Amino acid sequence: MTEGRQVKAPTIIDIAREAGVSKSVVSRALLAQGGVNKETRRRVAEVAERLGYVKNAMAQGLVAQRTHTIGVLVRNVTNPFYGHLQAALEERAAQRGYRVVATTGTGAFELTQERKALQTLLSLRVEGLVVCSGLLSAADITPFVQHVPTVVAGRPERDPALGSVYCDEQDGAAQLVSHLTGLGHRRVGVLRVPRRLSITQYERGTAMERELREAGAEPVVVELDERPDSVARAIGTLTAARDGAEAVTAAMCPSDHAVLRAVEALQALGLSAPGNMSLTGFDGVAPLSTPLLGLTTLRQPVPEIGRRAIDLVLDQPDARPDDAPHLGLQGTLVIGRTTAPPHPRG
């Protein structure tokens, strides 16, 4: 019966022939923009339906010079934070009548791959671009902003040519620090991700260090690296770090995921959190942000980041590359069971 060969998708010309009208009429009928006999319109619609017609976005976009599409570049969908962000972007875009096409990396640190993904999006002539990647630098992006309104979401970006929406790391760090110092911690470890691995997380670490200092506490910064046991090593270093009689009683991690690794590391040493060391995270996103785990963390306002990013992109059709807006949104402190007052030193 149905010969299974691949069939070329029908065009408006096919519909026109089938319905016995010109392609102009079909176009108008399908666009539902009036000026077409009601009966004709019905017939066209019927034929289109029967043929399984799907408009060709390329042809349409080519002539209309509009695509109603926003491109989203996500670095690593494997990370739930980016997954949530992507969903938020998608939702807002839909509300405003735009489609979203996303390209994403596998999480590997492939800069060239990210550049290629960027090209893909650009070649689709998206009307706006949201970059969600801790890796791609401003220099990679700026050459194109003059053609497409571009916003960096999820990380602070100082470049004046690029808009950005992100969680205010400084404020977040301050909230976490104030929680820790309020509990009585004085010497606090900071696990810092090097800048080359993630701009966001690096800045986060810097902010934590600064805030600790301002709060009169003593930050003990340990640099992480790409090795899988990096966090474990850092925790090892911190548990050994004792300044005179004073030990490190808390550690601030760059992400919730890192907190998990830290807890494991403590357990491996026969220690526990918050018993021997309080731990704080960052992100506050499901599924790690669950009462069961009870992480103390800073929840990023992901839905709002997504919303504002889309709005920023759509509301500045002609970018003024010299003072793009930078929105630092406040996160929320989530107090869990990984922080407690420091134990009397034993």
CB of 109 or CB of 144, closer to a second copy: 144
Q: Which residue in the set 5, 8, 158, 227 belongs to the binding site for DNA (CB under 7 A)?
A: 8
Candidates 18-26, 114-122, 133-141, 158-166: pick the segment binding DNA (CB under 7 A): 18-26
Rounded to the nearest whole angstrom, what is the least distance from the CB of residue 112 to DNA in the complex? 21
Candidates 35-43, 108-116, 195-203, 289-297: pick the segment binding DNA (CB under 7 A): 35-43
Return the one option of a second copy, DNA, none that residue 230 interacts with (CB less than 5 to 8 A, by type): none
CB of 27 or CB of 206, closer to DNA: 27
Return the one option of DNA, a second copy, none that residue 21 interacts with (CB less than 5 to 8 A, by type): DNA
Q: Is 120 in the site for DNA (CB under 7 A)?
A: no
Rounded to the nearest whole angstrom, what is the least distance from the CB of residue 33 to DNA in the complex? 7
Return the one option of a second copy, DNA, none that residue 276 interacts with (CB less than 5 to 8 A, by type): none
Site for DNA in 44-73 (CB under 7 A): 53, 55-56, 59-60, 62-65
Q: Which residue in the set 18, 27, 269, 294 belongs to the binding site for DNA (CB under 7 A)?
A: 27
Return the one option of DNA, a second copy, none that residue 27 interacts with (CB less than 5 to 8 A, by type): DNA
Rounded to the nearest whole angstrom, what is the least distance from the CB of residue 261 to a second copy in the complex? 8
Return the one option of DNA, a second copy, none that residue 11 interacts with (CB less than 5 to 8 A, by type): DNA
CB of 4 or CB of 35, closer to a second copy: 4
- ∠ CA 281-284-285, nearest 5°, is 135
Q: Is 6 in the site for DNA (CB under 7 A)?
A: no
Q: How far is it, in rounded angstroms, from Cα 280 to Cα 302? A: 19
SS3 sequence, the chain? CCCCCCCCCCCHHHHHHHHCCCHHHHHHHHHCCCCCCHHHHHHHHHHHHHHCCCCCHHHHHHHHCCCCEEEEEECECCCHHHHHHHHHHHHHHHHCCCEEEEEECECCCCHHHHHHHHHHHHHCCCCEEEEECCCCCHHHHHHHHCCCCEEEECCCCCCCCCEEEEECHHHHHHHHHHHHHHHCCCEEEEEECCCCCCHHHHHHHHHHHHHHHHCCCEEEEEECCCCCCHHHHHHHHHHHCEECCEECCEEECCCHHHHHHHHHHHHHCCCCCCCCCEEECCECCCCCCCCCCCCCEEECCHHHHHHHHHHHHHHCCCCCCCCCCEEEECCEEECCCCCCCCCCCC
CB of 51 or CB of 340, closer to DNA: 51
Rounded to the nearest whole angstrom, what is the least distance from the CB of residue 70 to a second copy in the complex? 11
Rounded to the nearest whole angstrom, what is the least distance from the CB of residue 35 to DNA in the complex? 4
Return the one option of DNA, a second copy, none that residue 210 interacts with (CB less than 5 to 8 A, by type): none
For residue 45, what are the contacts with CB-CB under 8 A and spacing of at least 6?
29, 30
Rounded to the nearest whole angstrom, what is the least distance from the CB of residue 103 to DNA in the complex? 19
Beta-bridged to residue 293, according to DSSP, are: none
User: Residue for token digits 């800048």?
Assistant: 195
- The residue ranges that bind DNA (CB under 7 A) are 8, 11-13, 20-25, 27-28, 30-31, 33-37, 40-41, 53, 55-56, 59-60, 62-65
